[in-house]
Amino acid sequence: MLSEEHIPVLAEPLIEKLILPADAVIVDCTLGHGGHSLLLGSRLGPNGRIIGLDVDPESIKKARDVLAGLECRVDIYRENFSRIDSVMELAGAESADLILADLGFCSAQLENTERGLSFEQNMPLDMRLDERLEVTAADILKSEDENVLADIIYRFGEERASRRIARLIVEQRKNKPITTTAELAAIVVRAKGLNRRWVKSRSKEIAQTFQALRIAVNHELDVLERLLENLPSRLKTGGYAAVITFHSLEARIVKQSFKQLEKAGVYEALTKKPITASQDECRRNPRSRSAQMRVVCKKM
Ligand SMILES: C[S@@+](CC[C@H](N)C(=O)[O-])C[C@H]1O[C@@H](n2cnc3c(N)ncnc32)[C@H](O)[C@@H]1O
């Protein structure tokens, strides 16, 4: 019954951590193709409820189909999870038994040739998960000054060659705007002195700059912080928050927020160390290799 195109990451260890009543209210902040929601929703009865959020209409369309057969109530909103407060108000749900966020993007978004999230194919440098956002990655490369570009690449990509990459971007855009993934990848290759023939096997070297721009375009760290601030007031006592991260910047933010609220007596950690995928899951779903899941339970 699971979605064939998107395999939900760390789904089994997540289910193992939770005891949910049949009438639970579950908020899936990152609906995607509905993989996690389908699994969780199939455990709910007719009085249970899933409130799903996603910024991407294509993901929402897919999730609607996938979740259509569930017995529980399903309400879907095209909203950023930073607005969880207003979505729950609109949905008439005061608090939830589980709030889940499986961050980042689905493989379908990565492969979408309009979005420019991957440098494996040549595509326009858009990178917006939500096309209602006004600024694309190409806009940032066109208009930000060299220091701002270097800071973005350093902070969000943890890229040590950020200054050299920014300098080359500025040099190149004097001749022609940088508008495609291939152009940006070529600049990173040049700035880092990578051997072109080895680009594929050293793709992590290029991925850091792409990650940086994606984070900047979608304000990923800011919206994550806002979500985490809102969680305690939107969880029932005994309710769970589970966040799956895919890179160290978002993992650090989640770790710090959960730790702080544990110290304040608000949360109990259900994962002393983050849960990672088993060898078997990594083999079945390579995307799960970098996933880390943290789960807390609200105490008061
Ligand atoms: C990794 S996928 C989720 C997959 C889902 N758990 C499943 O099993 O099918 C992440 C989804 O979150 C969405 N997304 C990313 N950032 C978001 C945000 N700030 N607010 C709402 N949705 C977001 C993306 O559009 C994408 O569809």
How many A from CA of 60 to the centre of ligand 1? 10
Distance, CA of 151 to CA of 213 (rounded, Å): 11
What tens digit of pLDDT does each residue of 67-113 get? 999 999 999 999 999 999 999 999 999 999 999 999 988 888 888 88
Residue 208, annotated as binding a ligand:
no
Domain boundaries 11-108+220-298, CATH class: alpha beta
How do the domains of the chain map onto residue ranges? 11-108+220-298, 112-218
- Say what the pLDDT of residue 201 is: 53
Q: Please say if the pLDDT value at position 115 is more than 90.
A: no
Q: Is 85 annotated as a binding residue?
A: no
Question: Over 50: is that where the pLDDT of 231 sits?
Answer: yes
Percent of the chain beyond pLDDT 90? Answer: 86
Does ligand 1 lie within 6 Å of residue 32's CB atom? yes
- From the CA of 53, give the closest atom in ligand 1: 21
102 is in an annotated binding site: yes
Q: What mean pLDDT comes out for the span 142-159?
A: 97
Please list the residues that pair with 235 across neighbouring strands: 96
CATH superfamily of 112-218: Putative methyltransferase TM0872, insert domain (1.10.150.170)
- Residue 37: CB within 6 Å of ligand 1? no
pLDDT at 199: 55
**33 vs 4, higher pLDDT:** 33
- Residues 6+ positions from 272 with CB-CB distance below 8 Å: none
- Fold identical between 11-108+220-298 and 112-218? no
Which residue is it, tokens 């209210």? 25
Q: What is the mean pLDDT of residues 245-269?
A: 97
Q: Does residue 130 contact residue 56 with C-beta atoms inside 8 Å?
A: yes
Q: Is the CB of 223 under 6 A from ligand 1?
A: yes
CA–CA dist 178, 192 (Å, integer): 18
What CA dihedral angle connects 230, 232, 235 and 239, to 10 degrees?
A: 140
Separation in Å, CA 216 to CA 113, 126, 133: 20, 12, 12
Query: For ligand 1, is residue 52 a contact (CB within 6 Å)?
Result: no
User: How much is the pLDDT for 107?
Assistant: 83
